[in-house]
Structure 1
């Protein structure tokens, strides 16, 4: 039987939603949410410094979210995985970057985010070797754990089309605001829970509410785009939750840091919602 190529994104199963591997490994849901959020922020920062197109950064963020629904952050270093995701995404989007450049940039953005002294990473140092080895192994694990299914369909093109259909392309605020919401949603589980049409519709829904712009309801405008109101509300809630509490600077990025954090941290985790839907 011939295999059909699907142009839709693979979505989480109900079991993966409710019980990701990190939860089985006793990592608190708020901490895992913060780690995912932080890693995606670092991917975006590194991508900008590497002059990568937005599609590559977005693809890398989605791959990281997918990976940690089939693998635990206690077994696979987040630092290595986020480097591997950006390295792989740059190849998938035909804008490859050198391994040494990716390592140096991630070393820089992590130190800057943690307010550490920024010193050049020596190419033949032990630290460089460990990061290079970690990146290469993480890329192999990424492909293995995802079953080489690394295609990512993004909703940006659909967003522009939907805005045109609704006559909102020239609105002074909604297009940019909706675009920003799509970018921010990459730091949540949204892209592994819903297909692009629903995500694009949710971004418009949230932007229109923010701007107090009334859209057609007879029939509801989102039904034309195969979206569901409840799904859009869920997505909007996840996006808005990003703005509630700033991320701490001591979020662990390696398995060793995570183990130490879980053993020694005394301060309560923030009350940010879990990425379960």
Structure 2
């Protein structure tokens, strides 16, 4: 990680992440990152955790994959470890037992949805009527192997995050900066501007897609905030000075190339994904699923197809 007020990924890490070095395609890595962040967000809701801790966990999660490959660690385990560690950093700790129970419920629910989707796809090809059933969740035993395995996974993931990030866990959230920038631009009186810009800082206007892109590990907070304001003003048709000699984002030391890149990351979340794409990531929460996918898609010459 580069040395800054807060750590950002270096150019070599950005050009070819450890996961891509191991043969994982860039689009698949993006989907796995987004899915891992979504699990963190859903777990935070069920745990009634503070949003600041959830956001910190998602940023730590994104940074981790610039230092380590998804072939070595599962996104589910690292997500648990990131949320557990971030809860300590933000002084709102959670019990490992509660965290493990919530993730077990989420993963069982996702596995059930994936099985239902696959069954529905097979039924549609055979012209039969697909049948959907509700998940019958059975809590794990506190004295069973599953509970102790997940508990150990949380501890190991926390230690790996600390180790791989070099104990540099500084996280700067952008919300105060957004308020200040909107005040300077005279936009705080527009409720729609504040709401939409706040949503773009979370990578999308809906609460279900919070912090799912790695921009917080790639760009400085002023650049990300300016990109959120740019998307908001363009969407709402608000004119701001943008002539080459008088660009509003230069007031905040942001570069146009960086702004357009951040906007591209955010808007890629809206791209259409097939049923196969959705079910694929659900089956790759653990490193075992990633390795199995790599083996299935590896050609005779050793390259990933």
Structure 1 and Structure 2 fold alike (TM over 0.5): yes
Shift, 1:7, TM fit: 7.3
Query: Using the alignment, how far apart are the partners of 1:151 and 1:109 within structure 2?
Result: 28
Match of 1:40 in 2: 37
1:256 partnered with 2:288 = yes
Structure 1 length-normalised TM: 0.89
Match of 1:151 in 2: 170
1:135 partnered with 2:154 = yes
Match of 1:269 in 2: none
CA contact under 8 A between 1:114 and 1:250: conserved in structure 2? Answer: no
Query: Using the alignment, how far apart are the partners of 1:45 and 1:61 within structure 2?
Result: 12
CA contact under 8 A between 2:23 and 2:294: conserved in structure 1? Answer: no
Match of 1:90 in 2: 87
Query: Using the alignment, how far apart are the partners of 1:206 and 1:112 within structure 2?
Result: 34
> Once the two structures are superposed, what CA deviation does each residue of 1:27-71 show, in whole Å capped at 9, x if it has no partner?
111111111010001101111111111111111111011111111
1:243 partnered with 2:270 = yes
User: Which is further off, 88-97 or 19-28?
Assistant: 19-28
Query: Using the alignment, how far apart are the partners of 1:15 and 1:7 within structure 2?
Result: 17
Query: Using the alignment, how far apart are the partners of 1:210 and 1:111 within structure 2?
Result: 38
Query: Using the alignment, how far apart are the partners of 1:7 and 1:74 within structure 2?
Result: 28
Aligned to 1:73, which of 58, 70, 73?
A: 70
1:193 partnered with 2:218 = yes
Residue pairs, 1:164-183, within 5 angstroms: 164-183=183-202
SS of the residue 1:248 aligns to: helix
User: Which is further off, 91-100 or 162-171?
Assistant: 162-171
CA contact under 8 A between 2:18 and 2:67: conserved in structure 1? Answer: yes
Query: Using the alignment, how far apart are the partners of 2:141 and 2:183 within structure 1?
Result: 50
Gap runs ≥5 in structure 1: 1-5, 267-277
Query: Using the alignment, how far apart are the partners of 1:241 and 1:207 within structure 2?
Result: 16
Query: Using the alignment, how far apart are the partners of 2:92 and 2:258 within structure 1?
Result: 34
CA contact under 8 A between 1:199 and 1:232: conserved in structure 2? Answer: yes
Identify, as 1 or 2, the structure richer in helix.
2
Match of 1:224 in 2: 251
Query: Using the alignment, how far apart are the partners of 2:111 and 2:191 within structure 1?
Result: 36
Question: How many residues were matched structurally?
Answer: 261
Larger radius of gyration: 2
Structure 2 length-normalised TM: 0.81
SS of the residue 1:55 aligns to: helix
Match of 2:228 in 1: 203
CA contact under 8 A between 1:59 and 1:152: conserved in structure 2? Answer: yes
Shift, 1:138, TM fit: 0.9
1:115–1:212: structure 2 CA closer, same or farther, 3 Å change rule? farther
Match of 1:215 in 2: 240
Shift, 1:149, TM fit: 0.3
CA contact under 8 A between 1:62 and 1:191: conserved in structure 2? Answer: yes
Shift, 1:223, TM fit: 1.1
Gap runs ≥5 in structure 2: 114-134, 204-209, 299-305
Query: Using the alignment, how far apart are the partners of 1:197 and 1:135 within structure 2?
Result: 33
CA contact under 8 A between 2:177 and 2:222: conserved in structure 1? Answer: yes
Query: Using the alignment, how far apart are the partners of 1:130 and 1:171 within structure 2?
Result: 50
